[in-house]
Structure formats: C-alpha cells, structure tokens
Amino acid sequence: MSNDTDGKPKNSALTLALTTAQKGRSAARGALLWGYEQRLAREVKAHGKLPRHLGLILDGNRRFARAAGVQREVGHSFGADKAHEVLQWCLELGIPAATIWVLSTDNAGRDAVELAHILSLLEREARNLATDPRIHANRVRVRAIGQHQAFPAQVLDALKELEEKTAGYDGMRLNIAVGYGGREEIVDAVKLHLQAQAEAGMTLAEAAATLEPDHISAHLYTADTPDPDFIIRTSGEIRLSGFMLWQSVYSEYYFCDVYWPGFRRVDFLRALRDFQGRERRFGR
C-alpha cells in the first residue's frame, strides 16, 4: 500500500480493479446498444414501409460544440461528416429521396467568420460528393435548392459540378437545401408562375383568377420530387423554422433531442420505426 501526496492511503490494485470494471461496463453497454441497433434495423426492414421522401433539419451543430467545449466551427465540421453517414443509412435502406437542410436564409445573418466556414464546408462536401463512389454506384441525383446566387464563385462552381455530374442519374434523389427558406421558395414559385402566364399573354387579373395550388407546386424547388412523407429535426427544437412549408402539409414529424453531430444510426432507426407505426390520414 502506498500513500498519496495528501497522506491518504492509496490502493493501486483497487484503483486498477475499478478502472477495469468501468471499462467492462462501458464495453457491455456498447455491445447492448449494438445488439439493439441490429434488432431495430431488422424490424424496420421487415416492416417495409419507408418514406418516399425524407426531410432532415440538421440542427444543433453550435450547441454540440458548446457542450463539448470546442469552437463552433468544429461543430459544423462534425455536422458535415454526419451528413455523409446519414446518406449511407438512406442508401442502405433504399429511401428514394431525401432533402437535407444545411443552411437557411436566416443563417446568412451570422458573423462573417462562421458563415465563411460553413460555405467552405459546403464547397468541400460538394466536391467530395462529386467523386464519391457511392453517389455514382447508386446513381444518386444531387441538386442544390434555395437562393445561393450570392455565394462565393468557388462554392457555386462546386455545386454546379456536382449537379452536372449526377444530372442523368435515376437513383435516389438528394436535395441539399442551402440558402433555403420556405417563404422564399413560395415567393419564387409565384413569381415563376406569373412570368409564365405573362409570356402566354395573360393579364395579371386573368392569372389571379385562374390560379390553383398545382400551379404553385409546379414551380417549387422540389417540383420533380414527391412531397416529404417524414421530416426529422434534431436538437430538441419543436418547430418547422420554414422548412418545406408548402410541401409538408401532410408530412409526419419526428423531433429528436440529440444534436445533429451526435445523431446515431440507432436514433435514425427509432425515428423510422415511429413513422412506420403511424396511420397517415391526409386530412380525411
């Protein structure tokens, strides 16, 4: 038996035993979680009902960084890595379409350093996806949706290259919502409709008199993608914040407490299992 510097006896054998026990408990918890995750995956696959279009609101990067005691930029970097993981999970399950909300129009008001970092990540990830073997093997068509005309030239070039390289694919549809806002999307759709009507020789009064919901739907950013069946928001916030306001009229929602960078496959599978247990009535 030895003594600590404060004079209290210290039993090194006991300390080692306690440390070993803690590691054993941690390993046991990890094994239990892995087993639970595998069971969930089997249940979700066996059920068969999956969203045709999954919406993901990637929330909580900054709070994740704050909780971990690191710079906020680290949280955004971890969040970008997580998006790659979730893409893989969607491909494994065969989800036909997904829209991930990366950057909102409101986010444009953040300080210049943070915004520059987010845009640099967007450029990096767009270039990575353009050469990602998974994208090409699964024929994933990727599009950037939103208002991003004011983005730096190198970011626009990366997004354009990604869209061009996947334009002819007929597999999963992946929409990356950047510079996106639901109100802005509806306004843009109305403008496009009115422009088309004017080009067809209609007056404003005639265009207004004949306006139908389908006319707006036809000009949305996601006009060629089914409306989202299921929308997941991380970080514990229970609100839409403007995500796909028009398209989500009959969407099912799932709010998850975990911050986006900490979103695990088991959390993803739990959400899908919850979706599979719901009866969708579409207002009837």
pLDDT one-digit tens code per residue, 213-268:
999 999 999 999 999 999 999 999 999 999 999 999 999 999 999 999 999 999 99
* Phi, psi values for residue 255, rounded to 5°: -110, 120
Q: How far, rounded to the nearest angstrom, does the alpha carbon of residue 130 sit from its chain's CA centroid?
A: 18
Of the listed 11, 107, 132, 138, which one is catalytic? 107
pLDDT of residue 28: 67
Active site residue 170: no
Q: Which two tokens stand for residue 283?
A: 């207002």
Q: Coil, strand or helix: which one is 113?
A: helix
pLDDT of residue 283: 74
- Contact (CB, 8 A) for 207 and 270: no
Q: Could you please state the CATH topology (level 3) that the domain comprising 52-180+229-273 is classified under.
A: Undecaprenyl pyrophosphate synthetase (3.40.1180)
Span 145-167, mean pLDDT? 97
Active site residue 128: no
* pTM attached to this predicted model: 0.87
Annotated binding site for Mg(2+): 59, 252
Which residues make beta-bridge pairs with 87?
A: none
**Residue 2 pLDDT greater than 50, yes or no:** no
Annotated binding site: 59-64, 72, 76, 104-106, 110, 233, 239-241, 252
pLDDT of residue 21: 53
Q: What distance in Å separates the CA atoms of residue 115 and residue 282, rounded to the nearest whole number?
A: 39
Span 27-48, mean pLDDT? 86
Give the residue extent of every domain in the chain.
Answer: 52-180+229-273
Question: What burial letters (b/e) apply to 249-261, b meaning 16+ CB within 10 Å?
Answer: eebbbbbbeebbb
Chain segment 177-225, per-residue pLDDT in tens: 999 999 999 999 999 999 999 999 999 999 999 999 999 999 999 999 9
Of the listed 6, 11, 59, 128, which one is catalytic? 59
* Residue 75 confidence class, pLDDT cut points 50, 70, 90: very high
Burial of 39 (0-12, 13-18, 19+ CB in 10 A): exposed
Q: At what angle do helices 265-276 and 72-93 cross, to 10 degrees?
A: 50
Annotated binding site for substrate: 60-64, 72, 76, 104-106, 110, 233, 239-241
